[in-house]
Amino acid sequence: MNNKQLVSLMDQMTLDEKIGQLMQLATPFYKGSANQGQITGPMVGMGINDDVVRNSGSVLGASGANEVISIQQAHISENRLGIPLLVMSDIVHGYKTIFPVPLAIGCSWDLELAEKSAEIAAKEAAVSGVHVTFAPMVDLVRDPRWGRVMESTGEDSYLNSQFAKAQVRGFQGSDLTNDYDRVASCVKHFAAYGAPEGGRDYNTVNMSERELRDSYLPAYKAALDAGSEMVMTAFNTVDGIPATGNKQLMRDLLRDEWNFDGVIISDWGAVKELIPHGVAENEKEAALKALTAGVDIEMMTACYVKNLKELVDNGDIEEELLNESVLRILQLKQKLGLFDNPYRGANEQLEKDIVMSEAHRQVSRELASKSAVLLKNDDVLPLQKEQKVALIGPFADNNDILGPWSWLGSKDEAITMNEGLKMKVNASNFTVSKGCDIETSDDRQLTEALQVAKDADVVVLALGEDSEMSGEAGSLTDIRLPQVQLDLIRKVKELDKPMVSVLFNGRPLDLHGVMEHSNAVLEAWYPGTEGGAAIADLIFGDANPSGKLTMSFPYSVGQVPVYYNNFNTGRPKGAPDAQERYVSQYLDSPNEPLFPFGYGLSYTTFTYNNARLSAAEMTADRPITMKVSVKNTGNTAGEETVQLYIRDLVGEVVRPLKELKGFVKIHLQPEEEKEVTFTISEEELRYHHANLEFSSDPGKFIAYIGSNSRDVQAIPFELLK
Ligand code: GLC
């Protein structure tokens, strides 16, 4: 249908039917769903009757070709005009083949593989009947107390923007209408959900519009520039106004400034939450505020369906405003081809053929091995297959390695560390003994594990957080490993054996009690379906670690927020003329994090040689280049991510000590050397001035090149008028 026909369809709709299109319900409300009628928790008391279901526009959480076809068939027959449902689900880092959590994928710095993982997720979701995924989540994060840092690609807006584009490309492809192997994406959570005070989920977000535009907004814009079809609003306030009722964010910025004409959906219940936020007295006012501010679809509360008719009849809301939302929703259905084929890609046979296919699992295994970050290695890794290994810890044989937002994944089909090692070494060469659970222990477990460790040549400790300790509403004030695991490490250390700690977690941790006792530390994150196989590949050297942190690891939670692109302050510690005491510092901790953004070791070593700029001065018309020769000086092939940072020495407002402006991944054989070139153009030097103008200033800059945000070579240059 063309737009005229869609308008004509809308003109046939009653007011109730129009309002119904703005309602998104979960599957228990729908005939044909596996959990039909199981109305529990927040769904009880929503006041949803059959008419509302019949007129609703989209369903949340349906999956499986059979279930989706059944729901859609029933809906089309019951909806007076036969308008199909949009089927939306959270496919964040895989559908059933689960990839590492996005924070891990970010640490791969591998945009192609990230795009590939999103494409596979889209393929598996599309044949299973899904039309739209609530991803990518691109919230910038600087606070590991927040449980959802696992869902972001990290603390840098440039890198997050690159990953946002890669994921949208992977999910949507280039022809969403005809390519039934793809799904529409919904970038979230708009905006700045990753900056809650205290790292406490859903908490207040307070920041200037300038900081919002410089740091937090670029990745959403990048996703929209890549064509993301939808935006999901965040739970939090921005400058005192809940994002879900924030006209400045949705109408002024998204619609008018960024020209976004796709569909905006609230997060779960966020429309009704305008009441506890204290900006709406009741559901009627919440409906008025949310629709006026720009929310097209209300997810899982019923303020719209219960109040919009009265608001329109009373003239409090122009029907035209409602029509705009209805038309956007119909246009998305049209773009997805649902009026021609309401079942789109749902196909039970294809589902059986491709979901969790070996090919998909191999990509997950590759991405997991590229996402892990080697934090320490005193020459104990890689292990030799002849060594007698004690595999100890709560993650020694634990399939809870998919991480949050993997609700369609199958833990039972995940490869644990135990199964991964079995693929590498003879059973006689390694013994598994848990030693303790995630947060509890008993003497028998501990005694048995210590005996196993005594009999081994090397101990691999598999440690970490339960996946429930991360993710939504998973905020922590203490980001150390649970005490029982720290006790286990200490007890094993007394045996004086080489110790490798492998961490399964969703956030940067305070590694006190881990680093000092371990001879090697490998951050595995939640590595997904093939996690144990990928980690075994790494610890036995069949893969060489290449991951680089995209979120700083603090010494302790007391440093939080700590991130690489911070400001110098007026009393920088360590400045030549700095006083001993009266500088910006802690009395009990360094200022810098334990591990900085961009940090990660390899089994080989790389040297950076002959770093040079093509000129010491540039203009807007005459960019310059940075070249550097990188050599693999070790005896193992490996991948290095060469990073370019820039510092603006004097701005109209304070400028970060450095900002990531480019990176290149290169693979080098032993003794191989490659030259890497970056172009530095005037665009890269722009920032938001006090008046929010986005522009550059002539003046002095420093270009930094290196293997992370700390260990860099500095070369000055100047931007001339
Ligand atoms: C949740 C999350 C959001 C998700 C939505 C639907 O509350 O905040 O990311 O897409 O509900 O499951």
Average pLDDT of the chain to the nearest whole number: 97
CA of 80 to the centre of ligand 1 (A): 30
Distance CA 541, CA 433 (A): 23
Does the beta carbon of 273 lie inside 6 Å of ligand 1? Answer: no
The tokens 């100047």 sit on which residue?
Answer: 718
Nearest Cα neighbor of 383 from 490, 457, 462 is 457
Among 60, 91, 134, the mutation site with the greatest number of ligand 1 atoms within 8 A of its Cβ is: 134
The model's confidence at residue 427, banded by pLDDT at 50, 70 and 90, is confident
301 φψ region: left (φ > 0), alpha (ψ -120 to 50), beta (else): beta
Ligand 1 centre to CA of 49 (Å) is 24
What is the per-residue pLDDT for 141? Answer: 98
Mind listing the pLDDT tens digit for each residue in 181-233?
999 999 999 999 999 999 999 999 999 999 999 999 999 999 999 999 999 99
Helix (H, G, I), strand (E, B) or coil at 630: strand
- The catalytic position among 267, 296, 466, 510 is 267
Query: What pLDDT score does 399 carry?
Result: 98
282, 284, 288, 291 alpha-carbon torsion, rounded to 10°: 100
What CATH topology corresponds to 355-539?
Answer: Rossmann fold (3.40.50)
Tokens coding 313: 């009849």
Q: Does residue 597 line the site of ligand 1, with CB under 6 A?
A: no
Mean local confidence (pLDDT), 7-17: 98
Q: What is the DSSP letter of 213?
A: I
Closest protein CA for atom 10 of ligand 1: 134
Residue 535 backbone dihedrals phi, psi, to 5 degrees: -70, -35
State whether the beta carbon of 701 lies less than 6 angstroms from ligand 1: no
**CA atoms of 117 and 528, how far apart (whole Å):** 12
Q: By three-state DSSP, how is residue 439 classified?
A: coil
Give 486-541 pLDDT, tens digit per residue: 999 999 999 999 999 999 999 999 999 999 999 999 999 999 999 999 999 999 99
Dihedral, CA atoms, 306, 307, 310, 316, nearest 10 degrees?
A: -170
For 260-316, how does the pLDDT look when each residue is reduced to its tens digit (9 = 90+)?
999 999 999 999 999 999 999 999 999 999 999 999 999 999 999 999 999 999 999
Give 569-629 as a DSSP string: -SSBTT-TT--SSSSB--SSS-SS-SB-TT--B-SS-EEEEEEEES-SEE-SSS-EEEEEE
Atom of ligand 1 lying closest to residue 137 CA: 9
Both tokens of residue 135? Answer: 């991803």
515 C-alpha to center of ligand 1: Å? 35
Ligand 1 contact via 67 beta carbon (within 6 Å)? no
Euclidean distance between CA atoms 392 and 263, whole angstroms: 49
pLDDT digits (tens, 9 = 90+) for 50-78: 999 999 999 999 989 999 999 999 999 99
Q: Report how far apart the first and last C-alpha atoms of the chain are (Å, whole number).
A: 52
Identify whether 473 is preceded by a cis peptide bond (ω within 30 of 0): no
What are the residues facing 713 on neighbouring strands? Answer: 705
Shortest-distance atom of ligand 1 to CA 186: 10
156 Cβ below 6 A of ligand 1:
no
Say yes or no to pLDDT of 668 above 90. Answer: yes
Q: Is 267 in the pocket of ligand 1 (CB under 6 A)?
A: yes
For range 239-245, the mean pLDDT: 97
**How far is ligand 1, taken at its centre, from the CA of residue 544, in Å?**
35
Residue identified by tokens 């399939």 is: 399
pTM of the model: 0.98
Superfamily for the 604-719 domain:
Immunoglobulins (2.60.40.10)
Ligand 1 pocket check for 407: Cβ under 6 Å = no
Whether ligand 1 lies within 6 angstroms of the CB of 134 is answered as: yes
What is the rounded distance in angstroms from the CA atom of residue 398 to the CA atom of residue 434?
9
Which residue spans of the chain are classified as CATH 3.40.50.1700?
A: 355-539
Residues 6+ apart with CB under 8 A from 141: 103, 148, 149, 152, 154, 155, 194, 195, 551
Label each residue of 214-276 as H, E or C.
HHHCHHHHHHHHCCCCEEEECCCEECCEEHHHCHHHHHHHHHHHCCCCCEEECCCCCCCCHHH
Q: Give yes or no: 340 in active site.
A: no
Tell me how far the alpha carbon of residue 268 lies from the centroid of ligand 1, in angstroms. Answer: 6
Contacts of 149 (CB under 8 A, 6+ apart): 103, 141, 143, 194, 470, 506, 507, 508, 551
Residues of the chain with CATH 2.60.40.10: 604-719
In ligand 1, which atom is closest to the CA atom of 90? 10
Lowest mean pLDDT among 32-41, 96-105, 492-501: 32-41
Mean pLDDT, residues 117-128 = 98
Question: Three-state secondary structure along 474-517?
Answer: CCCCCCECCHHHHHHHHHHHCCCCCEEEEEECCCCCECCCCCCC
Question: How large is the greatest C-alpha to C-alpha distance in the chain, in angstroms?
Answer: 80
Q: What is the pLDDT of residue 42?
A: 86
Write the CB contacts of 290 (distance below 8 Å, at least 6 apart in sequence).
Answer: 244, 245, 266, 271, 274, 298, 303, 304
Residue owning the nearest CA to atom 6 of ligand 1: 268
Please state the rounded mean pLDDT for residues 622-637. Answer: 98
Q: Is the dihedral of CA 285, 290, 296, 297 positive or negative?
A: negative
